[in-house]
Amino acid sequence: MKPVKLVWADNSANDYPNLQKDLELATETALRYVRGALYVLYNGYELKSSYRIDKGKKHFERFFGAFDDGRYTTVIKAFKDIHNELSTRQMTYYVSKENLDSKKLYGSSQENQADGNINIFGLYLKAPLLGQDSKYGVIIHETSHNVIDHISDQNATYSLAETEALARKDPERATHCAESYEYYVEFGVASGLITPVPDPNTSTGWVDRGGDIAPPSLSFPDNYSVGDGKFRAWAGTGKGSYLDRSSGSPHPVRDADSNWVGENMRSRWLDAPADKTTFSVMFNINNSVDLDTNMIRGRWAVDDEGEMYHVDPQTRAETLVSKIGAPGYGHWTEFVAGTQHGLKHGTNEFRFYIRNAGGGPGGLRVETEKFQDWSTT
């Protein structure tokens, strides 16, 4: 994503010192969840899990009406166009004191211009970052007008009730309604259906479509041994009973009504033996990635506690990225890693020092988000 640009129509910029950062975060959040929406749209009808299929289809029909191949294609194209605008254009926000004082509008943009230009108004300032009628949702709404898909407000369809009614009564218009796109994402995120898209190379227990992932291709330092997926454990600490991919069923300790973070089609737990284990994953950052504007985001969970470091493969310098205290298995802990943690072009390593007290089954769970080269085709 390119840094966002603010264009002031007057000289009141100093009255809004946080607006640049605020719009940057909202734009980045919009981009991450539009990726997540595309992931659900592409995979939601094909994955073997019937739970996933039913939930994805129901959600689609709630906002875009009865499922139909043509409308499905229309929605995917619109989200791809929104994704491409947010990720490749310099999003430019036009602001003035007069507009920011107005309490009638969130934003506006020109239909079918694909120029990345959006006007911001007073209601945006009062909106929450996440949730219904959120800041990131406003960005999705306005960007949907802006891409060349003829997405309008359909006679001022703004409320949840109006949006759902439009989907029931006139699905064709629902697929050309900005509020439908905003709510599809906002309510998908709120229900857990839509999340940022994890990178299979640096997330644990990837089981997309039930297939095996490619064997690790990076060369590791001598004292590593092969663990599960592309995560490896230090030799000598015991590798534990790694998840059996072929069985496809989670360890009983983590079944649906346990209090561990539930397994899903995006990531699964890696087993860890009692006491201390070190897990490691290495990854490559392409020279074309601008590390000033791209951070790696993700979330992790651990039984019972642990520390996550970035390790420089050349100097072996370790920089703390995130720390989880016991008990750390029942909730996600978000992390962000950037150049301040030593992230650089070429080979990088994330290392997880974890400790499982008490002798029961331990585990590590990591979802690292894709942040570059995400293909929507």
Return residues touching Zn ion (CB under 5 A): 153, 178
Cβ distance to Zn ion smaller for residue 125 or 218:
125
Q: Answer for the pair 333, 299: CB distance below 8 angstroms, yes or no.
A: yes
Q: How far is Cα 141 from Cα 126, in angstroms, rounded to an integer?
A: 16
Q: Answer for the pair 342, 312: CB distance below 8 angstroms, yes or no.
A: yes
Q: How far is Cα 90 from Cα 213, in angstroms, rounded to an integer?
A: 35
Q: How far is Cα 302 from Cα 365, in angstroms, rounded to an integer?
A: 6
Cβ distance to Zn ion smaller for residue 146 or 322:
146
Cβ distance to Zn ion smaller for residue 154 or 322:
154
In the complex, minimum distance from the CB of residue 37 to Zn ion, in angstroms, rounded to a whole number: 18
In the complex, minimum distance from the CB of residue 372 to Zn ion, in angstroms, rounded to a whole number: 30
Cβ distance to Zn ion smaller for residue 159 or 225:
159
Q: How far is Cα 47 from Cα 248, in angstroms, rounded to an integer?
A: 14
In the complex, minimum distance from the CB of residue 151 to Zn ion, in angstroms, rounded to a whole number: 8
In the complex, minimum distance from the CB of residue 104 to Zn ion, in angstroms, rounded to a whole number: 13
Q: How far is Cα 163 from Cα 166, in angstroms, rounded to an integer?
A: 5
Name the phi and psi angles at 13, rounded to 5.
Answer: -50, -40
In the complex, minimum distance from the CB of residue 157 to Zn ion, in angstroms, rounded to a whole number: 9
Characterize the bridge pairing of strands 318-324 and 305-311. antiparallel
Cβ distance to Zn ion smaller for residue 181 or 353:
181
Q: Distance between alpha carbon 16 and the CA centroid of its chain, in Å?
A: 28
In the complex, minimum distance from the CB of residue 64 to Zn ion, in angstroms, rounded to a whole number: 17
Cβ distance to Zn ion smaller for residue 153 or 172:
153
Query: For residue 127, how many other CB atoms are within 10 A of its CB?
Result: 18
List CB contacts of 353: < 8 A, sequence separation 6 or more: 276, 278, 306, 307, 309
